[in-house]
Amino acid sequence: MTDLINPATEEVVASVQATDLAAVDAAIERAHIALAAWREVAPGDRARLLRKFADAVDADLENLARLEVANSGHTIGNARWEAGNVRDLLEYYAAAPERLLGKQIPVAGGIDVTFNEPLGVVGIIVPWNFPMPIAAWGFAPALAAGNTVVLKPAELTPLTAIRLGELALQAGIPADVFQVLPGKGSVVGQRFVTHPAVRKVVFTGSTEVGRQIMAGCAAQIKRVTLELGGKNANVVFADADIEKAAATAPYGVFDNAGQDCCARSRILVQRSVFDRFMELLEPAVQGVVVGDPADDTTEMGPLISASHRSTVAGYIEPSTRVAFRGNAPAGPGFWFPPTVVLPSSPTDRVVAEEVFGPVVTVVPFEDERDAVRIANDTDYGLSGSLWTNDLGRALRVSRALEAGNLSVNSHSSVRYWTPFGGFKQSGLGRELGPDGALAFTEVKNVFIATT
Ligand code: TAP
């Protein structure tokens, strides 16, 4: 049994049994058997079942949100949004079964059609930072496309995934079509990679583990989607609304205590407005409300664990120049205050590595070219923001930045209607958006002779 700790209180919330290897194999076998019937469910009926699943999530939204607050330390506002995101994804992809249209292609001597066939059993491996949305980004389109799913939540944060598994059954999704298998990455996750009946692995997590997953999947030419780390730039040009850029910058990085692959953890500011920006940033950072995540007014909660807090703290070395800090409660809980760093060199660990905590660096740049050079000076390429009132510059810089998800004059990366994924070592493949379900299908071409 694994004890789950509330990160805000350090109290045990629940204990969960880890799935052992034999049980993982048995679950994959059952998922494989369930596939035959699930893929044959008529498209309209599969759509209806997914809508019922969405309704069940909606009816349980407050419970799911409270579970996430207790297990993950997410603010209640965020956790409600996350549970709502699961409902919305199920509704959105409920439209897919009836719209996997294929093509009819003109050819000589017959008729040529394509089918979007389900892949089979899909294994989804989820990290602890956004347990609900990241699970649903995978399972909603995968189920819609006629696959069965085995899902491994992170060891630290399995409670909402377990609840979603119960809600699926209550909603009428047939047994074994969607199974949640809590346990260790090295056991459950690794078996998704090696078991031949699992035809695709969707992995979200660190680039280091993602690399191992990709190498493991290569042995069976197994399909893989990877959503990995990020070290995203927030580029503020002198012509921007500097007040708004400074007021919103903390929320672009400190949301979910910075434990966000899309966190804008490198702020780049044009030198002519650097001092003004820093003057405005300080009160904005100090204004971030850090505290009890169950309180409706809280904007930032604790880090996920004691060990993660010590990793984050390790980025602030004795020589690190801290410009200013925000607040954090004293007492129990894995708290770390929002922290703004002025790095001494682009090779400082705090600039080069993903901290995955509430730490942001701020550096000046000279001109557009310099901004793009610094922003792209990373192995990652997930998201980023740019602030400018010059439309031409917004488009030029958006095209020049090597990142999959950019926002101009805002910090939003994730909308379920639009594709999401990384350039470079931030990942492989895209999730979400209108083509999300296609990533869980193989195209089959069939030619029928007419002569
Ligand atoms: P990881 O340590 O990589 O863990 C992610 C998941 O993989 C967990 O469920 C983990 O299980 C499992 N795992 C670990 N070793 C495995 C192995 N050898 N084989 C199969 N599965 C294995 O990442 P993390 O620290 O939990 O999450 C933070 C990272 O995720 C950050 O780098 C962040 O940027 C990234 N992330 C990316 C995105 C997107 S969308 N690009 C979104 C969120 C997070 P255990 O629970 O047992 O460790």
- 29 belongs to a structural domain: yes
Give the residue numbers spanning the domain of 377.
Answer: 233-415
Kindly list the strands in the beta sheet with 383-387, ordered across the sheet, starting from the edge strand earlier in the chain. 322-325, 339-341, 359-365, 266-270, 233-236, 383-387, 405-408
Q: What is the pLDDT of residue 406?
A: 98
Residue 413 has pLDDT above 80, yes or no: no
Give yes or no: residues 301 and 320 share one domain.
yes
Strands (E), 251-321: 266-270
Q: Is 129 in the pocket of ligand 1 (CB under 6 A)?
A: yes
Give yes or no: residues 272 and 403 share one domain.
yes
Query: Looking at residues 32-36, what average pLDDT do you find?
Result: 98
Give yes or no: residues 190 and 244 share one domain.
no
How do residues 128-184 score in pLDDT, each as one tens digit?
999 999 999 999 999 999 999 999 999 999 999 999 999 999 999 999 999 999 999
Q: Which of 261, 299, 354, 431 is catalytic?
A: 261
- Residues β-bridged to residue 236: 269, 387
- 420 belongs to a structural domain: no
- 97 belongs to a structural domain: yes
Q: What is the pLDDT of residue 102?
A: 95
What is the whole-number distance in angstroms between the Cα of residue 352 and the centre of ligand 1?
Answer: 19
* Backbone φ and ψ of 388, nearest 5°: -165, 155
Give yes or no: residues 371 and 263 share one domain.
yes
The CATH number of residue 50's host domain is 3.40.605.10
- 211 belongs to a structural domain: yes
Q: Is 299 in the pocket of ligand 1 (CB under 6 A)?
A: no
261 is catalytic: yes
Average pLDDT, the chain: 98
Q: How far apart are CA 199 and CA 430, in angstroms?
A: 17
- 270 belongs to a structural domain: yes
Position 123 confidence tier, pLDDT thresholds 50, 70, 90: very high
Give yes or no: residues 163 and 279 share one domain.
no
The CATH number of residue 382's host domain is 3.40.309.10
Q: Is 424 in the pocket of ligand 1 (CB under 6 A)?
A: no
Q: What is the pLDDT of residue 216?
A: 98
Give yes or no: residues 263 and 197 share one domain.
no
Give yes or no: residues 366 and 438 share one domain.
no
Give yes or no: residues 191 and 237 share one domain.
no
How do residues 338-390 score in pLDDT, each as one tens digit?
999 999 999 999 999 999 999 999 999 999 999 999 999 999 999 999 999 99
Number of domains in the chain: 2
What is the whole-number distance in angstroms between the Cα of residue 440 and the centre of ligand 1?
Answer: 21
Position 395 confidence tier, pLDDT thresholds 50, 70, 90: very high
Give yes or no: residues 209 and 277 share one domain.
no
Q: Is 212 in the pocket of ligand 1 (CB under 6 A)?
A: yes
Query: Looking at residues 203-215, what average pLDDT do you find?
Result: 97
Give yes or no: residues 115 and 187 share one domain.
yes
Query: Looking at residues 248-268, what average pLDDT do you find?
Result: 98
Helix (H, G, I), strand (E, B) or coil at 87: helix
Q: How far apart are CA 397 and CA 391, in angstroms?
A: 10
How do residues 224-246 score in pLDDT, each as one tens digit?
999 999 999 999 999 999 999 99
What is the whole-number distance in angstroms between the Cα of residue 158 and the centre of ligand 1?
Answer: 13
- 148 belongs to a structural domain: yes
Q: Is 431 in the pocket of ligand 1 (CB under 6 A)?
A: no
Report the 10 Å Cβ neighbour count for 171. Answer: 20
Position 442 confidence tier, pLDDT thresholds 50, 70, 90: very high
Residue with CA at minimum distance from ligand 1 atom 16: 185
What is the whole-number distance in angstroms between the Cα of residue 111 and the centre of ligand 1?
Answer: 46
Query: Looking at residues 59-66, what average pLDDT do you find?
Result: 98
- 190 belongs to a structural domain: yes
Which atom of ligand 1 is nearest the CA belonging to 229? 34
Q: Is 412 in the pocket of ligand 1 (CB under 6 A)?
A: no
Helix (H) or strand (E) holding 202: strand 198-204
- 247 belongs to a structural domain: yes
Give yes or no: residues 141 and 285 share one domain.
no
368 is catalytic: no
Q: What is the pLDDT of residue 17?
A: 97
Give yes or no: residues 239 and 262 share one domain.
yes
Q: Is 204 in the pocket of ligand 1 (CB under 6 A)?
A: yes
| Residue spans of alpha helices (H) in 99-222 | 131-144, 159-170, 190-194, 207-218
Q: What is the pLDDT of residue 126?
A: 98
Q: What is the pLDDT of residue 293?
A: 98
Which atom of ligand 1 is nearest the CA belonging to 184? 47
Kindly give the pairing relationship between strand 110-118 and strand 2-5. unpaired
